Chains A and B, each alone.
Chain A
Amino acid sequence: MDSCTNGSNSLNSPACRDKALSEMLDRLFAAKHERRRLLASLPFEDKVRIVVELQRMAEGLRGANDGGPSRVWTLHD
């Protein structure tokens, strides 16, 4: 039996904390990878809409004092 799954040891020892953290990171990275694959499989039209959304977000981050013209695409549906 894994000593870290035993209630008395869990998260109290550094080794168990590291193991739990490592498992959590593995789960998070796997979920991130899965989300990327899901996004990659979207129809191209949906991806273009997301690209425009990203442009809007980047424009917001650039801020109003940038002064340059908007680079957000003006697509017609």
Chain B
Amino acid sequence: MAAVFYMEPLLTYDVGVFVSLPEHSGKRVSLSPIYTYLQARGCSINREHVVIEGVPVQFLPVFDPLTQEALHTAREVRYKGARTRVFRAEHLAAIMLATNRPTDKVRLAQFLEEAELDRGHLMEIIERHGLMHQWLQFTEQSGLPR
């Protein structure tokens, strides 16, 4: 859904929320406290989603330095008066590149065409997170400029 913030609206059914979970030594990372908290406030659980006000929300723990950086540098925006945070366009593009699924490649091509992003900053992120090989492969396959 964050991609929609920067590009034309597209069909999607859920909202992904990245979270940074506190570390407990020896314990597995668990989203249970979030689920329990929201269930107590009337939200229902549907498979891996929590349905909040009619919208399925999937909580995802930050899982690598790239998503961690994206979370820490996310920009603050307002939606209907409420404060929220959205990953920056450059990080979203890098994450699509890193996940490397066919759907993400298609979306990345569209994203690069439509979203206003800082190409220099994107290249810095790509280099910093060791994604140059994927980037070169992607630009070669998609025909987009490097």
Contacts and interface: CB of A to CB of B under 8 A. Distances in A.
Contacts of A75: 53-55
A72 to B, nearest CB: 9
A15 interface: no
A51 B80 contact: no
B114 to A, nearest CB: 5
Interface majority SS (helix, strand, loop, mixed), chain A: helix
Contacts of B79: 44-45, 48
A47 B13 contact: no
Contacts of B54: 73-75
B113 to A, nearest CB: 8
B58 to A, nearest CB: 14
Contacts of B13: 55, 71
A58 B11 contact: yes
A31 interface: no
A24 interface: no
A51 B55 contact: no
B7 interface: yes
Contacts of A45: 79-80
Given A45-B79, A74-B54, A75-B53, A36 B10 contact: no
A57 to B, nearest CB: 8
B9 A50 contact: yes
B118 interface: no
Nearest to B15: A73
B11 A40 contact: no
B12 A40 contact: no
B9 A47 contact: yes
B89 to A, nearest CB: 11
Contacts of B10: 51, 54
A25 B131 CA distance: 36
Contact of B6 (A40, A48, A51): A40
B83 to A, nearest CB: 13
